[in-house]
Structures are given as C-alpha cells and as structure tokens.
Amino acid sequence: MKFFACVLLAVMISFAPVSAAVEQCRFINSKADREACYDRQAKALAAKRKPDAVDDTKSKSLDEIGIENDRLSKSLRSICRGC
C-alpha cells in the first residue's frame, strides 16, 4: 500500500503544470541573456494571442449563415401565405 502511495505521489508531481515555472527576466544580470529572455516571452505571448484571430473567421461565417437564414425566411413567407 505504501509503495502504491509513493508511486501515485511521484506521478502527480511529474505531471505538475508547466505554467508554474514563469521565467523572471529582470533578475538576469547579463544584458544579452536578459534580452533573449524577453524575446522568448514575447514569442510565447504572441503564440497565445494567435488563436484569437481564428475566432474572427468563425464569427464571419456565422454572420453569413444569419444572412442566408434571413433570405430563406423571406422567401418562405412569400411562398406560404396563410398556411
């Protein structure tokens, strides 16, 4: 039982979220290393923000579907009067 608990604890620790290790660039003394750290953080931030552009295409397609639905409802109203 103790062995199982130790193995379970080791697995839980090994799968800890990576986001907890945030790099602190301001504490790096070397200017070149510090600027490289800032560049890495900027690239990571840009990668996180990139999927937001994909959402714009989804909203655009939803707008197109809404326009087509309006056209269809108008044509159905003209066909089926008094149904």
pLDDT greater than 70 at residue 52: no
Residue 33 maps to a domain? yes
Which residues lie closer than 8 Å to 41 by C-beta, 6 or more apart?
23, 25
Count of domains forming the chain? 1
Query: What range defines the domain where residue 27 resides?
Result: 21-54
Q: What is the pLDDT of residue 32?
A: 93
Give per-residue pLDDT as tens, 4-47.
887 777 777 766 554 445 678 888 899 999 999 999 999 988 88
pTM: 0.38
CB 34 within 8 A of CB 51: no
Residue 64 maps to a domain? no
Q: What tokens appear for 9 in the block?
A: 């604890």
Q: Residue 74: helix, strand or coil by DSSP?
A: helix
Residue 49 maps to a domain? yes
Residue 4 maps to a domain? no
